Structure 1
Amino acid sequence: MTRLSTAVRALVTALATLLAATTAAGTARAGTEPEAPDDFVALRDVDRTIIEDMRYFTPHNFVGERIDGYRQPLCILTRPAAEALHKAQTKLLRQGYSLKVYDCYRPQRAVDHFVRWAKDLDDQAMKAEFYPDVDKSRLFADGYIAEKSGHSRGSTVDLTVVRLPAKPTRPYHPGQPLVPCYAPQDERFPDNSVDMGTGYDCFDTLSHTLDPRVQGEQRANRLLLKGTLENLGFVNLTEEWWHFTFKPEPYPDTFFDFPVSAGSVTGRH
């Protein structure tokens, strides 16, 4: 009986050890995230003076909630793109301005979130601000939403220009009254940037960089941003005054899905 009891105890111990090891391995696999390549950096590690207003970490965006994959309000880019932004910032600081980024690297899971939202035609909570004149059923056909984004390749950035000293702006509170993104600057949601004629992520043809209806100071502000960045290797998306891609892209055909967090880039450079 003693030998049998010992054998049973040994078998139970072995099975428990095996179960624990299997559970731990499964947990490790479940917690494994895609990793950023070594040449991705946090913009703040290249230039701490560039203002970061990461909209998809907040509910103030066209979806109305924090977007999947944005774990921290952090701008991550490939190093060449970040260094080019640093050069642009140096030029603008001399003129009394600063860059402000709204979005940088965007994980594929965030793009998937946009796609799910766009297919839900009943969810129009943010329509009054971000797409007041566009039927939500047209977002794919009109090119406002797509299943892939250049942002996921790591060298595309959405940004604007702020006159220094930067003024504080009040936070967005979910449920507050919304104003169309193309309304006059003193009526739409406050942003401490210069007047670009529309707010960020405005789904409207007025957001086209060189739309002829945008003139005067608004056009001059768009051209200041465009000219500064294009002289340093960025290419503007003509439909969005805020959207620029650094060329040549280090990863022109790769769409990454690591999360937006300091852990994705810390200790890798």
Structure 2
Amino acid sequence: MPEAATPIALSSPPASTVAAVSPVTRRPRGLGPHALLAISWAAPLILLVAWESFARLGALSPQVLPAPSKVFATALKLIEQGRLISDLGASLLRAVAGFLIGGGIGFGLGTLVGFSRLAEALFDRSVQMVRAVPFLAALPLVIVWFGVDEGGKVFLVSLGVMFPIYINTVLGIRQVDPKLVELGRVSGLSSWTLIRRIILPGALPSILAGVRYALAVAWLALVIAETIATNSGIGSLAMDAREFLQTDVIVLTIVIYAGIGVASDAIARALERRLLAWHPNYAKGAR
């Protein structure tokens, strides 16, 4: 009689192996969140100190690249004159209006195309064709349509914002695990509940990635939009400075755009942490 087969003992993989293949980015040992924050700001601060040092030593001409201290003094002067705050407010208003309009259209159209192959056949090819048109190529037509009023500037920002949110919304909906959808149907969930509880939360990481990218595109579109004849906004401030060769003002506008970009990205990250607290890759301590 043949001997009974000896069962093979199943053992779990070593902890080191599990950690190596974990999809979650882990924090280096011994470094807390405050240390990581300090490291992330170290490179910009070193660059700033080097910039100031080279300018003071005369290696950088003030007409080419003024020192950060000179740029800061220029900012204080413009604030005292009341120009910087009003121009910044005008640019922020255009960016917010364009983002809300373009983001709403992109999300709505992306949701429709993500759920319906018929909607994809109707809209997607046209959207992709318009997306390939550069901002500068569309600028003359925008001037013909809207003139030099605020509508043209908001339109360009909306146009730029719409595409990242549209594409990432479609991608997020299409990438939801079909097994989860089937499980929801078997559990008796209605179509609306299925969309609200399973599909949209599953697509949310991709949608929020589109929001982060759209925030950067919004400022790029705004810079181009404010080159249209205008007497307010950060772009207008830069154009006036170019006419009078005020390099310090031009550098200041670049720094303002960079600062707003960092602030908007930080807001988007905070939104991710709040809305995706249930997701293991976004949970507290996962990064």
Same fold (TM over 0.5): no
Which one has the largest radius of gyration?
2
Q: State TM-score, norm by structure 1.
A: 0.27
Q: State TM-score, norm by structure 2.
A: 0.26
Structure with greater proportional strand content: 1
Structure with greater proportional helix content: 2
